[in-house]
């Protein structure tokens, strides 16, 4: 297992522990590892009072077929009175030694050229991402 860690805050860098946040890591598809068939059941990290969180995940290079993790955060919005969901629109790959979530997310650079080289259609597939199908050679860009 590889440890993924980070700190959850708002844009004022304040922890949001009073809003009962959860950081949820969902595999992009069913996968195999060793003699296991793994389902897409999410793994959840509950941040501590200072916003720190950690979760142990199977490293993505060990999983077949190619899998990434989708990340979202749920938290209670006291003004609206319901649970909010913040979806991270970037896939996360996890190396053998894990690491900080900010280093593992495939975040786009401030550059209009954003490419994904993989055999299957990206999920999620943000607008602007160009997908190169490594099996067929087809190239498609998400425009809407």
pTM surpassing 0.85? no
CATH no., domain 2-107:
2.60.40
CA distance 132 to 139: 5
- Of residues 71, 60, 82, the one with CA closest to residue 8: 71
Q: What HEC string does the chain produce?
A: CEEEEEECECCCCCECHHHCCEEEEEECCCEEECCEEECCCCEEECCCCCCEEEEEECCHHHCECCCCEEEEEEEEECCCCEEEEEEEEEEECCCCCCEEHHHHECCCCCCCCEEEEECCCCCCCCCCEEEEECCCCCEEECCC
Tens of pLDDT along 86-140? 999 889 999 999 999 988 987 655 555 678 888 888 887 777 788 998 889 899 9
For the chain, domain boundaries:
2-107, 108-144
Kindly tell me if the per-residue pLDDT of 3 is higher than 80.
yes
Kindly tell me if the per-residue pLDDT of 8 is higher than 80.
yes
Q: Is 60 exposed, middle or buried (0-12, 13-18, 19+ CB in 10 A)?
A: buried
pLDDT of residue 141: 85
pLDDT of residue 110: 54
Tens of pLDDT along 17-52? 899 999 999 999 999 999 999 999 999 999 999 999
Kindly tell me if the per-residue pLDDT of 57 is higher than 80.
yes
pLDDT of residue 108: 55
Query: Contact at 8 Å (CB) between 100 and 52?
Result: no
Q: What is the mean pLDDT of the chain?
A: 90
């Amino acid at each position: 297992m590889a440890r993924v860690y980070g700190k959850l805050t708002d844009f004022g860098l304040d922890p949001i522990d009073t809003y009962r946040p959860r950081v949820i890591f969902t595999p992009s598809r069913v996968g195999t590892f060793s003699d296991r068939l793994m389902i897409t059941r999410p793994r959840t990290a509950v941040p501590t009072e200072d916003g720190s969180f950690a979760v142990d995940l199977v490293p993505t290079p060990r999983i077949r077929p190619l899998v990434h993790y989708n990340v979202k955060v749920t938290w209670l919005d006291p003004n609206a009175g319901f649970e909010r969901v913040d979806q991270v629109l970037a896939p996360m790959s996890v190396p053998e030694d894990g690491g900080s979530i900010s280093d593992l997310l495939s975040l786009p650079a401030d550059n209009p050229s954003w490419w994904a080289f993989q055999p299957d259609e990206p999920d999620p597939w943000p607008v602007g991402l160009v997908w190169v199908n490594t099996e067929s050679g087809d190239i498609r860009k998400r425009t809407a």
